[in-house]
Amino acid sequence: MQTDAFEITRYFAASPEQVFDAWVGDEWAQWLPFPQAVVELLEVDTRVGGQYRLAMRLPDGQQMTACGVYREVLRPVRLVLTWQTSLTEHTSLVSVTLTPSGDGTFMVLRHEGLPIPAVREGHRSGWLGAFERLHKRLPIPQSAP
């Protein structure tokens, strides 16, 4: 059965608050962009109805932007935002759900509204790479003595 969505589940050895905070504000620019991309602009208004815009210069000189509107902001458990990039100019929807698990967090990203298989797979691949970079940036929670 064909679908216009995909899900990625990832475990991070960090608290839900730490993972959520990585998705908002200036921290986003540290892990979301492609490797060797230079962030030229980051504007984030993390509230329902608020907008975000990230512009980066890719290694080949091409500029790429990602922008959208926050639909749901429930720190530290859920974030829903529209997603549009200059590469596809198609608006889709990204939902991030965070669930505590021991000393860490399970994150489920669902990206829907991507009917073209190549575009869907490109986004999936992009998120997987971004989550590798996020994993390296997140602090490890301190265990209680």
145, part of any domain: no
Q: Which domain does 15 fall in, by range?
A: 6-137
36, part of any domain: yes
pLDDT of residue 15: 95
Tokens of 6: 């995909």
Backbone angles phi, psi at 27, to 5 degrees: -60, -30
Domain CATH code at residue 90: 3.30.530.20
- pLDDT tens readout for residues 86-123: 987 789 999 999 999 998 999 999 999 999 999 999 99
Which residues of the chain have a pLDDT value below 70? 1-2, 140-145
pLDDT of residue 140: 59
24, part of any domain: yes
1, part of any domain: no
pLDDT of residue 142: 52
142, part of any domain: no
Q: What share of the chain is helix, strand, coil (3-state, %, to 5)?
A: 25, 40, 35
Q: Round to whole Å and give the CA distance between 36 and 59.
A: 6
Total tally of structural domains belonging to the chain:
1
Judge contact between 28 and 42, C-beta under 8 A: yes
Task: Determine the residue type at 145.
Answer: P
